[in-house]
Amino acid sequence: MSITADLIRGHTETIILAHLFSRESYGYEINKSIQEKSGGKYELKEATLYGAFRRLEENGSIVSFWGNETTGARRRYYRITEHGKKYFLDSRAEWEEARKLIDKLIRTEERGNE
Amino acid sequence: MSITADLIRGHTETIILAHLFSRESYGYEINKSIQEKSGGKYELKEATLYGAFRRLEENGSIVSFWGNETTGARRRYYRITEHGKKYFLDSRAEWEEARKLIDKLIRTEERGNE
DNA sequence: AATATATACCTTGACAGACGATGTAACTCG
DNA sequence: CGAGTTACATCGTCTGTCAAGGTATATATT
């Protein structure tokens, strides 16, 4: 893991919702997918993941239900709600703005000769 | 303030160091400058700012000293150290990586017909 | 002379998100 | 049958942020 979690902090819910925006899924799969997409550089810790699920369900962004697996471990599936979709799009827009701002704020002024 | 601090969280120190990278400065000025650069959309709270100064000084990234103002309120100036410069450049590189990763992770897969 | 505003510093207590550690349980493979 | 994988879940701790409060000097207004 080379990406420190401090930098991701605050984006966990958005990342999860992005996933559920495309298709319903379950915790373990979401986490594996994030690991793959990050090339192994980042993984959500389980406590973080399930904590985020709880918050998202509490605020009505997702709903959960047990899958009917007949083999293997049981899975709790999550599905994004309409409210969750809106919340996600808002969060993503906020991210775009924050990204621009941080880029601006951590740019050093090595131009200074005009 | 439209940018929530949760999204900036973890970048406060980097933002401060970016500022001190260009020139030595003091708390109040740094904060004002951030407000201006953000177009009023973001400001560091003072408790956050001074907390960050304390951490940065503790880990040797900055040194501080009282200015010799003969008028107005006294100022505590901060100067970035060599260690601080390295820390800043590392942090900025981490940000670049984290930014790419988050962009990737919150992108929805609306392409899916090939 | 009192009041307000701006500059400038600083601390305390509380909160929220992230994490390490730990636990449960079912299946799989050698 | 023991080790590894899949899969869920919680508890206590740590850390960064913030609201609220405080100190002090200088200038402008009333």
Read off the pTM. Answer: 0.89
**If you search the block for the tokens 């991210």, which residue do you land on?**
A95
Distance A5 CA to D14 C1' (A): 13
Smallest Cα distance from B9 to chain A, Å: 7
Query: Per-residue confidence at A112, pLDDT binned at 50, 70, 90?
Result: very low
Cα of first residue to Cα of last residue in chain B, in angstroms, is 43
pLDDT of residue B112: 45
pLDDT of residue A114: 43
Contact assessment for residue A9 and residue B10, using Cβ atoms and an 8 Å cutoff: yes
Chain B residue with Cα closest to A108? B18
Contact assessment for residue A19 and residue A80, using Cβ atoms and an 8 Å cutoff: no
* Interface probe, candidates B22, B32, B106, B110, chain A, greatest A C-beta count within 10 A: B106
pLDDT of residue B111: 52
pLDDT of residue A7: 85
Q: Which amino acid is at B14?
A: T
Distance A43 CA to C9 C1' (A): 41
The SS3 assignment for A64 reads strand
User: In B, which residues are within 8 Å of A21 by CB distance?
Assistant: 108
| Residue A1 in this model has a pLDDT that exceeds 80 | no
pLDDT in tens, A21-35: 999 999 999 999 999
Intervals of chain B under pLDDT 50:
112-114
User: Which two tokens mark A79?
Assistant: 């599905």
The SS3 assignment for B102 reads helix
Laid out side by side, the sheet with B25-26 consists of B25-26, B76-80, B62-66
Contact, A35 CB vs strand C, < 7 Å: no
Which residues, 6 or more positions from B13, have their beta carbon under 8 angstroms from its beta carbon? B52, B55, B56, B61, B91
Q: Do A102 and B21 touch (CB under 8 A)?
A: no
pLDDT in tens, A54-108: 999 999 999 999 998 888 889 999 999 999 999 999 999 999 999 999 999 999 8
Distance A74 CA to C26 C1' (A): 8
Distances from the Cα of A27 to the Cαs of A61, A70, B51, B93, in angstroms? 15, 18, 36, 30
Distances from the Cα of A31 to the Cαs of A13, A16, A17, B5, B24, in angstroms? 12, 9, 12, 26, 43
pLDDT of residue A77: 97
